[in-house]
A and B are shown apart, each in its own frame.
Chain A
Amino acid sequence: DQQVKQNSPSLSVQEGRISILNCDYTNSMFDYFLWYKKYPAEGPTFLISISSIKDKNEDGRFTVFLNKSAKHLSLHIVPSQPGDSAVYFCAVQGAQKLVFGQGTRLTINP
């Protein structure tokens, strides 16, 4: 029973275009949401977060959108760069621990 789902295992985007990664969760009690980026042989790196009192948070090329009624989270990267190629995990905080999605492998094509 997955509490956090990333339905797209992979995504390919052309350099300079927008990358949109999606995440759905099941529990409306979650109140803190995060995105992590992971390169091979490294631990996940924190990218951006949003609390449930907001519906948008922006940091440079990265924007996270939260739709609480739909229990949906998305990460927009614009413009996409080759260095953005990695696996992206969404995570939600419940009961003081983070629950992660399965990840989406993003490939940016030159």
Chain B
Amino acid sequence: GAGVSQSPSNKVTEKGKDVELRCDPISGHTALYWYRQSLGQGLEFLIYFQGNSAPDKSGLPSDRFSAERTGGSVSTLTIQRTQQEDSAVYLCASSLTSFNSPLHFGNGTRLTVT
């Protein structure tokens, strides 16, 4: 497929467990972003990768959140010791460059922490 792919599409986990969310960006896109959308809220920036540069982690809400991007392609967002307030839709996006280039989003992973 030509679009951004995210897995799983849905994840239900118990409070305190760790989760990993995966993103496959569009081939050739150098920039990759993670956002989340909580119920009734807008899109909240989490983290941004551009090529081999150090990621912009300024949006990560706590040190329980981390992300990596291997080989400049696939990215994994990890949430440790999940809390109920982590419940949200986690959206990954990629863009051709980081300047004046539209982001293309995946369909997201809906995370529910019980």
Residues of A near any B CB (own CB < 8 A): 31-32, 34, 36, 41-46, 49, 51, 89, 91, 93, 95-103
A100 adjacent to B104 (CB under 8 Å): no
Question: Which of B56, B91, B108 is close to A96, meaning CB atoms less than 8 Å apart?
Answer: B56
Question: Which of B56, B59, B100 is close to A93, meaning CB atoms less than 8 Å apart?
Answer: B100
Nearest Cβ distance between residue A109 and chain B, in whole angstroms? 23
Q: Is the interface of A mostly helix, strand, loop or mixed?
A: strand
By a CB distance below 8 angstroms, the chain B residues around A49 are: 100, 102
B98 adjacent to A96 (CB under 8 Å): yes
By a CB distance below 8 angstroms, the chain B residues around A95 are: 56
B45 adjacent to A96 (CB under 8 Å): no
Q: List 6 A-B contacts (CB under 8 A).
A: A43-B105, A43-B108, A45-B105, A96-B50, A96-B98, A100-B43
Question: Which of A46, A102, A103 is close to B104, meaning CB atoms less than 8 Å apart?
Answer: A46
Interface residue ranges of B16-72 to A (CB < 8 Å): 31, 33, 35, 41-43, 45, 48, 50, 56, 59
Counting from the closest, the 9 A-B pairs by CB-CB distance are A43-B105, A102-B42, A100-B43, A46-B102, A96-B98, A32-B100, A43-B107, A44-B105, A97-B48
Does B93 sit at the interface, judged by CB under 8 A? yes
B102 adjacent to A97 (CB under 8 Å): no
Chain A: CB-nearest residue to B6: A43
> Size band of the B side of the interface?
20 to 34
Does B74 sit at the interface, judged by CB under 8 A? no
Task: Contacts A43-B91, A98-B33 given; indicate if A89 touches B107 (C-beta within 8 A).
Answer: no
Question: Which of B50, B100, B107 is close to A41, meaning CB atoms less than 8 Å apart?
Answer: B107
Question: Which of A32, A51, A103 is close to B42, meaning CB atoms less than 8 Å apart?
Answer: A103
Nearest Cβ distance between residue A97 and chain B, in whole angstroms? 5
Does B113 sit at the interface, judged by CB under 8 A? no
By a CB distance below 8 angstroms, the chain A residues around B99 are: 32, 93, 96
Does B88 sit at the interface, judged by CB under 8 A? no
By a CB distance below 8 angstroms, the chain A residues around B106 are: 43
Q: A49-B100, A97-B56 are in contact. List 4 more A-B contacts (CB 8 A).
A: A31-B100, A49-B102, A96-B99, A97-B59
